[in-house]
Amino acid sequence: MDNDNKGIREILKTGKNINILDDRTGVYESIAGLMADTIKKNNEYGRTTSFILPVGPRGQYRRFAALCNSRRISCRNLVTVNMDEFLDDDDHYICMSNPVSFRGFMKENLFDLLDSDLAVKPENIYFPDPENPRETGKLIQELGGADICFSGVGINGHIAFNEPVEDMPIGDFMGLETRVLGVSRDTMIITSLKYNGFVDLIPRRCITIGMKEIAASKKINIYLEHPHQAAALHKILYSKPSARFPVTLITRMEKSGLFVTREVISGVSNADRLRS
């Protein structure tokens, strides 16, 4: 416990906008509550709400749907833009019945759970389209940037599927728009752990929202919930911003905030044992 408290004190000294949550449940409840409160407030003023949403973290969506149903918060004026989706080898969407499909996950864990009179309008549910990647950027520009972008972090620092790039100037990387690309081996491996390690069954292609569209958001919340994200947190806090670890380019922005569990912080604190 003393080491954990010491780690928290050291991390807070970095000056980053850090919010410490007890555990993963706290992460999911925090996101669900923020989503519901934001929509409720905008509804009261007759404003549209727009979110960029990840599938990772994942546990918030059922909680959010339950909050909306119980509190009668209408999502009719909500626009959702999911970050990404896996593609087949021909760069078409994988089937929604595929366990790794983000479209299938969101349908099952959010959109189908909202009461029909509160549900998001089908025409307000967006996923980046491999047939028309520019559509996502155009939509976000029309919205004036998403109200909030929610995101996790990959072990290689990717945000959405914006994978690390060697030797690309920061300005060029931050100008990347929605596009089709290959999934890195690191990302394939970490994804496969949810499916008994069958790396070869993980799609090798994807479409992702770009860094440009993410950075246009009015607010960007980054969540680290798993023990294996401790190394990512360490790089976020102590590394120079670089396209080699993409999330560092977002967390340097004043409108970004970090939300981390005590378990992740403990991992950073205990890393000194590996260096000894």
For position 189, what pLDDT does the model report?
93
* Predicted local confidence at residue 269, as pLDDT: 74
The two three-digit tokens of residue 96, written as one number: 């929604």
- Sheet containing 205-208: give its strands across: 84-87, 205-208, 179-182
Phi/psi for 182 (5° steps) reads: -85, 150
Cβ contacts of 153 within 8 Å, gap of 6 or more = 159, 222, 223, 224, 229, 232, 236, 247
Residue range 203-241, pLDDT digits in tens: 999 999 999 999 999 999 999 999 999 999 999 999 999
Distances (CA, A) of 183 to 89, 149, 201, 253: 11, 21, 13, 26
Report all structural domains of the chain as residue ranges with CATH numbers, in order of start: 20-43+52-240+256-262 (3.40.50.1360)
Q: Give the pLDDT confidence score for residue 5 in this predicted structure.
A: 57
For residue 136, the one-letter residue type is T
pLDDT at 17: 82
Separation of alpha carbons 60 and 262, rounded Å: 18
CA pair distance 67, 71, nearest whole angstrom? 6
pLDDT attached to residue 92: 98
Alpha carbon of 206 to those of 27, 68, 175: distances in Å? Answer: 26, 31, 19
Cα Rg of the chain, angstroms: 18
Give the E-state strand segments of the chain in sequence order.
18-21, 49-53, 78-82, 84-87, 125-126, 148-151, 179-182, 205-208, 220-224, 256-261
d(CA 220, CA 197): 31
Residue 268 is predicted with a pLDDT of 86
- Residues of the chain predicted below pLDDT 70: 1-15, 271-276
